[in-house]
Amino acid sequence: MPANPTVAFIGLGIMGLPMASNLVDAGYTVAGYNRSPQAAEKLAARGGTAAGSVAEAVRGANVVITMLPDSPDVESVLLDDDGVFANAEPGSLIIDMSTIRPDVARDLASAGVRHHLRVLDAPVSGGEAGAIEGALSIMVGGEKSAFDAAAPLFDVLGTTAVLVGPAGAGQTVKAANQLIVAGNLQLLAEALVFLEAHGVDTAAGLEVLNGGLAGSTVITRKGEAMRNRNFEPGFRIALHDKDLRIVTTAARDAGVTIPLGAQVAQLVGALKAQGHGGLDHSALLRLVEQLSTDEHR
Ligand code: NAD
């Protein structure tokens, strides 16, 4: 791997665009590809280049990063005839930073070996703000040598990058992350509606709660927007619904019972079914309000 590797970045959405932009700012040569081309043009305006296809982005790259919505998207981008594995230089490092199923991540790593590629699963936590600030937490599964090679890039994208185990382990830790975040958001939503019903100043209430054992990054990052009913994403309900399916399935596969997680999964699924899949996951508050208000009164 050269000292300053060339990076192909595929998937320039809420997370991918600021992450790719941070790599540009750190001096990397970055070729971006996104299904809707406007996003790649935005990267070009930030000093990267816009590629017209996956193959074009990957050509000449030493590192390929994917930041796509779901397992089928990553499978297609990596495995298709015109995809990453068919076009990457042997020895390249492939880092999937999307949140996908752990079993899919394991299969992709095995397929990568057959193409003489090194594959890491490296999902992230920290949200859009973490992506913009280069302050993500990165949970990595794969070989130690590949993790070491990726470490300088992780230093740009995040503040914490930990190799948590072999291929797929990063996604398993991310599934646990999504379980904890969903539960936190739901309880914060319930607490806010409860405080408001009692006429409490919720700005003051959240400030003091955040200084004690109830304090959390969820309060810090989402509390104010929830008070203001600002549910611009952020992290879309549709994506958290996808993640909670991963959690509930993986827990069941392992014979683990997650009663609270299963309930929050139902609530997130209900919001999506109501047509709110495009709102931020903090819109769980809407459901608490609906459940607490008698429309017919
Ligand atoms: P997003 O929908 O904003 O971005 C995904 C991008 O991928 C879109 O721009 C879309 O056009 C592009 N895309 C989809 N299919 C493609 C294809 N076949 N080829 C090229 N481009 C394609 O989603 P996001 O919020 O950036 O999330 C990306 C991943 O990161 C998801 O797996 C999500 O669960 C995870 N994640 C998101 C957050 C967050 O706060 N948004 C936080 C942590 C992890």
| Confidence at 56, pLDDT banded by 50, 70, 90 | very high
Give the separation between CA 265 and CA 241, rounded to whole angstroms: 7
Residues forming beta bridges with residue 2, ordered by sequence position = none
Whole-Å CA distances, 36 to 33, 39, 44, 50: 9, 7, 14, 11
* Mean pLDDT score across all residues of the chain: 97
**CB of 132 closer than 6 angstroms to any ligand 1 atom:** no
184-235 pLDDT tens trace:
999 999 999 999 999 999 999 999 999 999 999 999 999 999 999 999 999 9
Report how far ligand 1's centroid is from the alpha carbon of 196 (Å).
Answer: 34
199: left (phi over 0), alpha (psi -120 to 50) or beta: left
**Given the DSSP bridges, would you call strands 6-10 and 63-66 parallel, antiparallel or unpaired?**
parallel
Number of H helices and E strands in the chain, helices first, is 14, 9
Ligand 1 neighbourhood includes 124 CB (under 6 angstroms): yes
Helix (H, G, I), strand (E, B) or coil at 95: strand
Q: How far is the CA of 253 from the centre of ligand 1 (A)?
A: 26
34 lines ligand 1 (CB under 6 A): yes
CB of 161 closer than 6 A to ligand 1?
no
Atom of ligand 1 nearest to the CA of 15: 26
The residue assigned the tokens 């990553």 is 74
- CA 207 to ligand 1 centroid distance, Å: 32
174 is catalytic: yes
Quick check: CB of 237 below 6 Å from ligand 1? no
Q: What's the confidence (pLDDT) of residue 4?
A: 76
Provide DSSP, 221-265: HHHHHHHTT----SSBHHHHHHHHHHHHHHHHHTT---HHHHHHH
Binding site membership of 14 for ligand 1 (Cβ less than 6 Å): yes
**Residue minimizing CA distance to atom 42 of ligand 1:** 127
Question: 66 pLDDT band (50/70/90 cuts)?
Answer: very high
CA of 27 to the centre of ligand 1 (A): 24
Q: Which of 42, 144, 174, 242 is catalytic?
A: 174
Query: Which of 10, 15, 75 has the most ligand 1 atoms within 8 A of CB, as the residue to mutate?
Result: 15
Pocket probe for ligand 1: among 19, 21, 22, 34, the residue whose CB has the most ligand atoms within 8 Å is: 34
Res. 296 pLDDT band, cuts 50 70 90: low
Q: For 102-148, how does the pLDDT look when each residue is reduced to its tens digit (9 = 90+)?
A: 999 999 999 999 999 999 999 999 999 999 999 999 999 999 999 99
Q: Is 52 exposed, middle or buried (0-12, 13-18, 19+ CB in 10 A)?
A: exposed
Q: How far is the CA of 17 from the centre of ligand 1 (A)?
A: 10
What integer is the mean pLDDT of 269-286? 98
pLDDT confidence bin for 266, thresholds 50/70/90? very high
Q: Residue 239 CA: which ligand 1 atom is closest? A: 34
- Tell how far the Cα of 16 is from the centroid of ligand 1, in angstroms: 7
Total residue length of the chain: 297
